[in-house]
Amino acid sequence: METDVTDDQRALLEVSSRFMTDTCPLVAVREGAWRDVGFAATYRRQAAELGWFSMLVPEALGGGNVSGYGVLDAALVAYRRGRALQPGSFVGTNVVAYAIAEEGSEWARTTVLPALLSGEAPASWAVDAPGYRLDAGVDARVLDDGGVVLTGTKRAVQDVEEASWLLVTCSTGSGATQLLIRADSPGVTITELGTLDLSRRYFEVTFDGAKVDAAAVVGTPGAGDDLITRQLAIATTLVAAEMVGAMDQDFATTVQYAKDRIAFGRPIGSFQGIKHQLADTSLALEMSKAITVAAARAVDHDDFGPSAASMAKAFVGEAGVDLVQTCFQVYGGIGYTWEHDQHLYLRRITTDAGLFGDANWHREHLCQLAGI
Amino acid sequence: MTETFATIDVNTFRAQAREWIRANLEPRSANQNDDHHDLTTEDISVARRLQRKLFDAGFAGITYPAAYGGRDLTAAHEQAFNEEAADFLTPNFGAAGIVTFGPIGRSLIAHATPEFLRRRMPRLLSGEELWCQFYSEPEAGSDLAGVRTRATRDGDQWILNGSKIWSSGAHLADWAMCLARTDWDVPKHRGLTWFALPTDTKGVTVRQIKQINGNAEFCEEFLDDVVVTDADLIGEVNRGWTVTQTMLVHERATAEHGRLVIEPRDLAPDLVALARRVGRLTDPLVRQAIARAHTNDFAQFHLGRAMADRLRAQAEPDHAVAAYPKLAVGTYKPVRARLALEIGGSATIAFDDGSAIARQPMLDYLECRVQSIAAGTNEMQRNGIGERILGLPREPSFDTTKPFNDVLRQSREWSGKVN
């Protein structure tokens, strides 16, 4: 994953990893310290100082990145985050910042964007929808003054707090519209959901006649598909990178366990029954790293980004779930205990596999992008 | 004539090659591809004449020592020649050519005597003498060090008896490199020796093997009291495993042939065409199958690139990582072949003979296990990744320290008990 990193990227990754270890080590993840709003705010501001939320925004708008390739930089940070199962809306905030920088109004660029870049406010992309269309679930009625009224529900929105900015992907009937709204606005209800993942929170967000001004619209009402496709490519690439990080860490500790655990008079990793499963898993992990880096480069460079990102999400999504299942099996009973960390990875990776479209969704998306 | 070929830089060499190629080789037309299947002796004669032409002009054995008919130039020079010649007809010896100019030629250079090399190498490089490997046996494949072909000392010569199999292009080859056991009372790796022999030596029987796809690229051989002299020993007596290791490295390089060189961006064109032909392009399950196959292709391509980058980045390249792309091909080829059959449905199990689009999935299906078995099975790659990359301990070995004779005897009494 980090074979070709530049010195600047290396420095970013080292300081980022140090920050994670100091601020939110695995024990803090496990105990849920990050659920506290005060803890989250401090974490976010410090992360912002490292440039975590600026990488997909041009310098002219207050952003910037170390290599000139923002998605690659962000993917490398995401990989380190995944290794340490870091909490917080990293993917969401970056995607929303990107969307505002691309097609946000003057108000969004001067008011919302600086708050995201500085870590003052978090952001989440409210996009999850049943079926193929991402604008499903919430209907947007455009008023004569350009304002929009929202009705409907988005589920599995990640890490929302009252101060969060939500980028809502909704339907005007004739096409997709995206707009910004604060989670504590009148007509917006957020309800925390029970989750598989223990390292992040998920919410159902209900809109009951919530109204925003025209300036809150990102892009042209009813014509959001192109931007949504690009946002999705970024979100899936970064989620894949977080997954690969978590996979790498879970796999490394499992291999170590296979060397340490003795049964029938020798380390269990010497049995081909275990060794061959780990070798197959290692192959899938290396392919996952390779396809994720390829996707990040493609999203940075050219029009092939959305296809490459969907392939990465589809491949890593399945490889990730396979990996945690194999690791579970190698650990045996110990992996079934709450005390062991294995289930934290199992939960996180399996959840990531379903975020922003599962493997089946992305394979269909790949076909549609190819025009068949 | 070797003195006239001084070392030259790649660009000058490329320019010379281009000029010569355009003046001397025929352009390749669209339907002339390098089909490695079932070449006739006629095809081989054509290839030999062409190879001679390249040799005389100094474009054969570009990376081989000048003393033995080569050019003493670098892989970059060879690459430049290949690029310039890509659109022209070059000698096609099929699998025999890949073996002769790859694993065999390289192993000979590394281990044969200068006298042997002076005698044989110019003929090898000029296409006059094609080579093959007498290597695997019916009872020794993955466990190559367990070969049982016997070489017995008889005065100043050796008598060979045994059988060999999976020799690519042996029916077209003039010479063979043969691995035989010369000492049965030492552990298996320490009693092996390599011999060179003409394939028409008295006592050698070469028989083509018909494959499940109807082609016959491989042969089996029977050696009955075949006489070889010390002059045709390759490497030292009982040190044959060293030569084998050289050969395996170059075999693996050969296995890399056929790897995708261009990033696959267009959604699996063959499978889309197949789905369209059978009218199933809108079937969600078919679309899933197409996208899955393409995603695997894409991941495999980038795995290959990532491993090449990793090797380049290492001060001391760890060639064990080559097991990853090998295992990837061995794993995903069968997956893709099965997906194609699912997409094609009944059209790929019963089809018009003229319909290549529906016929190809069947042929791919029959071929899909070649790379999971040949040149190192998936299981051997998994051992390599598990032990050499992940650092997992080896399985206990029962045969590496005992005399090979004892290994054979005890294996017949295998009870699972270890004493």
**Which pTM was predicted?**
0.93
Nearest neighbour of B299 by CB, restricted to A4, A287, A370: A287
Angle at A95 between CA A90 and CA A96, to 5 degrees: 105
pLDDT averaged over every residue in chain B:
91
Q: How far apart are CA A59 and CA B346, in angstroms?
A: 58
Cβ pair A290:B305 closer than 8 A? yes
Mapped onto helix, strand or coil, the DSSP state of residue A19 is helix
Cβ pair B265:A304 closer than 8 A? yes
What is the pLDDT, as a whole number, of residue B1? 39
Count Cα neighbours of A100 within 13 Å in the Cβ-side half-sphere. 35
Give residue B314's pLDDT band: very low, low, confident or very high (50, 70, 90): confident
**The two three-digit tokens of residue B75, written as one number:** 């892989």
Q: How far apart are CA A208 and CA A186, in angstroms?
A: 9
Please list, in sequence order, all residues whose beta carbon lies within 8 angstroms of the beta carbon of residue A138, skipping any fewer than 6 positions away: A126, A150, A151, A152, A153, A154, A168, A169, A170, A171, A207
Count Cα neighbours of A167 within 13 Å in the Cβ-side half-sphere. 33
Asked if residue A257 has pLDDT above 60, the reply is yes
Are B127 and B96 in contact by the 8 Å Cβ rule? The answer is no
What is the pLDDT, as a whole number, of residue B356? 77
Mapped onto helix, strand or coil, the DSSP state of residue A120 is coil
Chain B CB contacts of A278 under 8 Å are 386, 390, 392
Count Cα neighbours of B141 within 13 Å in the Cβ-side half-sphere. 12
Of B254 and B336, the one with more pLDDT: B336
Options B217, B251, B256, B342, the catalytic residue = B251
Mean pLDDT of B229-234: 95
Chain B CB contacts of A255 under 8 Å are 390-392
Q: What pairs with residue A167 in β-bridges?
A: A125, A180
Are B320 and B378 in contact by the 8 Å Cβ rule? The answer is no
Are A69 and A4 in contact by the 8 Å Cβ rule? The answer is no
pLDDT digits (tens, 9 = 90+) for B172-210: 999 999 999 999 999 999 999 999 999 999 999 999 999
Q: How far apart are CA A328 and CA B16, in angstroms?
A: 61
Cβ pair B391:A255 closer than 8 A? yes
Cβ pair A367:B382 closer than 8 A? no
Q: How far apart are CA B386 and CA A282, in angstroms?
A: 9
Percent of chain B exceeding pLDDT 70 equals 94
Chain B CB contacts of A250 under 8 Å are none
Q: How far apart are CA A87 and CA B372, in angstroms?
A: 41
**The two three-digit tokens of residue A196, written as one number:** 């598989």
Q: How far apart are CA A44 and CA A87, in angstroms?
A: 10
Residue that has been written with the tokens 């084998």 in this structure? B244
**The two three-digit tokens of residue B35, written as one number:** 């089909």
Chain B CB contacts of A367 under 8 Å are 267, 287, 290-291
What is the pLDDT, as a whole number, of residue B3? 43
Residue count (chain B): 419
Cβ pair A366:B267 closer than 8 A? yes
Residue of A nearest to B266 (CA): A370
Chain A CB contacts of B298 under 8 Å are 291, 294, 308, 311, 315
**Minimum mean pLDDT range among B9-23, B26-40, B269-283:** B26-40
- Measured from the Cβ of residue A337, the count of other Cβ atoms closer than 10 Å reads 10
Residue of B nearest to A309 (CA): B295
Query: Percent helix, strand, coil in chain A (nearest 5)?
Result: 55, 15, 30
Closest alpha carbon to B206 in B165, B147, B152, B161: B165
Angle at A234 between CA A229 and CA A240, to 5 degrees: 120
Are A197 and A246 in contact by the 8 Å Cβ rule? The answer is no
Known active-site residue B263: no
CA B290, B385, B252, B367: dihedral to nearest 10 degrees?
-30
Asked if residue B2 has pLDDT above 80, the reply is no
* Contact residues, chain B to chain A, C-beta under 8 Å: 265-267, 272, 281, 284, 287-288, 290-292, 294-296, 298-300, 302-303, 305-307, 309-310, 313, 324, 327-328, 331, 379, 381-383, 385-387, 389-396
Residue that has been written with the tokens 């029916």 in this structure? B171
Burial environment of residue B79 by CB neighbours within 10 A (0 to 12, 13 to 18, 19 or more): middle
Give residue B7's pLDDT band: very low, low, confident or very high (50, 70, 90): confident
**The two three-digit tokens of residue A311, written as one number:** 């392939």
DSSP string, A151-187: EEEEEEEES--TT-EEEEEEE-SSSEEEEEEETTSTT
Q: How far apart are CA B100 and CA B82, in angstroms?
A: 17
- Distance set, CA B382 to CA A232, A315, B246 (Å): 36, 21, 21
Q: How far apart are CA B333 and CA B238, in angstroms?
A: 38
Report which secondary-structure segment, H or E, holds A139. Answer: strand A138-142
Cβ pair A3:B295 closer than 8 A? no
- Measured from the Cβ of residue B418, the count of other Cβ atoms closer than 10 Å reads 7
Cβ pair B267:A282 closer than 8 A? no
Are B364 and B336 in contact by the 8 Å Cβ rule? The answer is yes
The count of CB pairs under 8 A between chains A and B is 133
Q: How far apart are CA A39 and CA A34, in angstroms?
A: 6
Asked if residue B32 has pLDDT above 60, the reply is no
Q: ipTM of this model?
A: 0.96
Nearest neighbour of B383 by CB, restricted to A275, A367, A370: A275
**Minimum mean pLDDT range among A26-35, A314-323, B245-254, B397-406:** B245-254
Q: What is the dihedral sign for C-alpha A348, A89, A82, A4?
A: positive
What is the pLDDT, as a whole number, of residue B20? 97
pLDDT averaged over every residue in chain A:
96
Q: Give how far the C-alpha of residue A69 lies from the chain's centroid of Cα atoms, to the nearest Å.
A: 18
Going by their DSSP bridges, the two strands B175-181 and B157-168 should be labelled as unpaired
Please list, in sequence order, all residues whose beta carbon lies within 8 angstroms of the beta carbon of residue B213, skipping any fewer than 6 positions away: B363, B366, B367
SS (H, E, C) chain B: CHHHCCCCCHHHHHHHHHHHHHHHCCECCCCCCCCCCCCCHHHHHHHHHHHHHHHHHCCCCCCCCHHHCCCCCCHHHHHHHHHHCCCECCCCCCHHHHHHHHHHHHHHHHHCCHHHHHHHHHHHHCCCCCEEEECCECCECCCHHHCCCEEEEECCEEEEEEEEEEEECHHHCCEEEEEEECCCCCCHHHCEEEEEEECCCCCEEEEEECCCCCCCCEEEEEEEEEEEEHHHEECCCCCHHHHHHHHHHHHHHHHCCCCCCCCCCCCCHHHHHHHHHCCCCCCHHHHHHHHHHHHHHHHHHHHHHHHHHHHHHCCCCCHHHHHHHHHHHHHHHHHHHHHHHHHHHHHHCCCCCCCHHHHHHHHHHHHCCHHHHCCCCHHHHHHHHHHHHCCCCCCCCCCCCCCHHHHHHHHHCCCCCCC
Mapped onto helix, strand or coil, the DSSP state of residue A341 is coil
CA of B389 vs chain A CAs: smallest distance (Å):
9
pLDDT digits (tens, 9 = 90+) for B54-106: 999 999 999 999 999 999 998 889 989 999 998 999 999 988 999 999 999 99
Mean pLDDT of B10-19: 95
Q: How far apart are CA B105 and CA B210, in angstroms?
A: 27
Please list, in sequence order, all residues whose beta carbon lies within 8 angstroms of the beta carbon of residue A334, skipping any fewer than 6 positions away: A340, A342
pLDDT digits (tens, 9 = 90+) for A147-192: 999 999 999 999 999 999 999 999 998 899 999 999 999 999 999 9
Cβ pair B394:A270 closer than 8 A? yes
Angle at B141 between CA B135 and CA B146, to 5 degrees: 80
Are A171 and A138 in contact by the 8 Å Cβ rule? The answer is yes
Give residue B313's pLDDT band: very low, low, confident or very high (50, 70, 90): confident
Mapped onto helix, strand or coil, the DSSP state of residue A276 is helix
Q: How far apart are CA A256 and CA A372, in angstroms?
A: 45
Please list, in sequence order, all residues whose beta carbon lies within 8 angstroms of the beta carbon of residue A16, skipping any fewer than 6 positions away: A50, A52, A77, A80, A81
Give residue A211's pLDDT band: very low, low, confident or very high (50, 70, 90): very high
Burial environment of residue B153 by CB neighbours within 10 A (0 to 12, 13 to 18, 19 or more): exposed
